[in-house]
A = this chain, B = another copy of it.
Amino acid sequence: MSSLTPIKGSVTAPQGFMAQGVCAEIKKKDKKDVAVIYSRIPGSAAGVFTTNLVRAHCVDLTRQHLADGQAQAIVVNSGNANACNGEQGRADTLQMAQAASDVMGIEPDQILVASTGVIGQPMPMEKVEGGIWEAVLTMSRDGAHNAALAIMTTDLMVKEIAVEIEIQGRPVRIGAIAKGSGMIHPNMATMLCFITTDANISSECLQNLLKASVNRSFNMVSVDRDTSTNDMVLILANGLARHEVIDDPGAADYQLFQEALDYVTISLAKMIARDGEGANHLVEVRVLNAADPEAARVIARSVVSSSLVKAAIFGHDPNWGRMLAAAGYSGAEFDPAKTDIYLGEVQVAADGTGLAFDEAAAVEELKKENVIITLDLKAGPHQATAWGCDLSYDYVSINADYRS
Name A residues whose Cβ lies closer than 8 Å to a Cβ of B.
51-55, 81, 83-86, 118-121, 154, 184-187, 189, 224-229, 277-278, 302, 305-308, 311-312, 319-322, 324-329, 333-334, 336, 349, 352-354, 391, 393-396, 398-400, 402-403
Contacts and interface: CB of A to CB of B under 8 A. Distances in A.
A321 B226 contact: no
Copies in the complex: 2
A96 to B, nearest CB: 19
B393 A353 contact: no
B83 A399 contact: no
Given A53-B328, A120-B354, A305-B225, A154 B85 contact: no
Contact of A329 (B119, B226, B302, B326): B226
B54 A352 contact: yes
A225 B306 contact: yes
B52 A186 contact: no
Contacts of A308: 186, 189, 224, 226
A189 B226 CA distance: 20
B186 A396 contact: yes
A403 B155 CA distance: 17
A324 to B, nearest CB: 5
Contact of A321 (B83, B225, B326, B398): B83
Contacts of A305: 225
Given A120-B320, A307-B224, A329-B225, A399 B353 contact: no
A196 to B, nearest CB: 29
